[in-house]
Amino acid sequence: MSTSIGQISAWGNGLAFRLTKPMAKTAGVTDGTPVRVIVKPGRIVIEAETEPTLEQMLAAFDPKKHGGEAMAGGSVGVEAFAR
C-alpha cells in the first residue's frame, strides 16, 4: 500500500482526481477498469473491480497444486448410506 498526495481539479461541470502512472500501476488499473466509489463525509474511497475472469482463473489453475479431493475425510451423513 502506498499513500500519495493529489489534488481535486475542475473538469467540465464536475471535479476530477488524476491518477499518476505509478499510482495506476500499483493499483493494477488501466484505462477502462471498472471501479467502485464509496463516498462518506470527508472521505472518498475508490476500489478497483479487478476480480479475475473465469478464463484468468482457469489459466492459473495448476492440477498439481489444486488437484485432488476437496475433502480428505470419509463419507458422512447421507453420502455414507448412498453407497
- 44 close to 37: Cβ distance less than 8 angstroms: yes
Residues paired with residue 17 on neighbouring β-strands, in sequence order: 8
How far does Cα 36 stand from its chain's mean position?
11
Residue 83 C-beta-side C-alpha neighbours within 13 Å:
6
pLDDT at 43: 94
8-81 belongs to CATH 2.10.260: yes
The DSSP letter of residue 35 is E
pLDDT at 56: 74
Residues 13-44: tens digit of each pLDDT: 999 999 999 888 888 888 999 999 999 999 99
What is the chain's mean pLDDT, rounded? 82
Mean pLDDT of 61-83: 69
Q: Where are the domains of the chain?
A: 8-81
Could you give phi then psi for residue 47, rounded to 5 degrees? -115, 130
Report the predicted TM-score, pTM, of the whole model to 2 decimal places. Answer: 0.52
